[in-house]
Amino acid sequence: MSNIAYFPVRGPAEDNRPGKRERTKVANRQAILDAARAVFGELGYEAATVRDIIRRTGLASGTFYNYYKSKEEVFDALADDGARRFRPLLRTEFEKAVDFESFLRGAVRAYFDFLAAEHESWRINRPAGEVFPHARATPEIQAVFDEVHAAFAKVLEHDHAPAVDLDYFAAACIAVAREVGDKMLERRPVDVDGAADFAVRMILGGLPALPRP
């Protein structure tokens, strides 16, 4: 053996790759998240257990609790993840928008596209009838709601639109988008355009403005 010891040389391009500890940590966290998505998809939320999730990763049961406190927390992390990925799309629509109508149309369209895409990674083999607790108000989801609320306020003000009860209005819009979005996913083929058109007209003009099929 050379008596010149080997030391990893860090060149000018500093190797800022985290150490092994850190790498396995993020890998484990991600593995648990992936396993959880799969298990929730196959067994449904209620039936899934922490051990079902951790078993799929090959890790020990105790390890799960180094990353998440409970099944609920993992689920919330998945939900947060979705919300976190959606937020930039929403922001883009806000920046593109020139008035309330264009913002609404863009945002609904973005949401429905997002829904359709996510749909694939979830509905693998879900027991019929079970409903995921979509409504969980995780921090990131709440942030999305707040952002919608704020965007509505700004855009409506810019339009010199008459003041409305924003709390009710934003809630109603989100409700319409959610429900029509859900129904959209149940139809074959999935018609994002049609559903988005419906939701936008519903919000902008109510019953008289709806498309006639």
Which positions touch DNA (CB under 7 A)? 19-22, 24-25, 28, 49-51, 58-63, 65-67, 69-71
Q: Residue 22: name its binding partner from DNA, its own copies, none (Cβ under 5 to 8 Å by kind).
A: DNA
- Which residue's CB is nearer to its own copies, number 27 or number 161? 161
- Which residue's CB is nearer to DNA, number 64 or number 100? 64
User: Residue 187 and residue 208: Cα distance in Å, rounded?
Assistant: 24
Alpha helices in the chain (DSSP H): 20-43, 50-57, 61-67, 71-96, 100-122, 139-158, 166-186, 192-205
- Per CB under 8 A, the list member of 40, 67, 68, 198 interacting with its own copies is 198
Q: Residue 21: name its binding partner from its own copies, DNA, none (Cβ under 5 to 8 Å by kind).
A: DNA
User: Residue 97 and residue 143: Cα distance in Å, rounded?
Assistant: 20
Q: Which of 190, 200, 195, 186 is nearest to 213 (CA)?
A: 195
- Angle of CA points 85, 27, 125, to nearest 5°: 65
The residues in 106-145 that bind its own copies, with binding defined as CB under 8 A, are 129, 131, 133-137
- Nearest approach, Cβ of 18 to DNA (angstroms)? 7
- Nearest approach, Cβ of 171 to its own copies (angstroms)? 5
- Which residue's CB is nearer to its own copies, number 113 or number 130? 130
Q: Residues with Cβ < 8 Å from 174, sequence gap 6 or more?
A: 145, 148
- Per CB under 8 A, the list member of 167, 188, 189, 193 interacting with its own copies is 167
Token pair belonging to 89: 């799309």
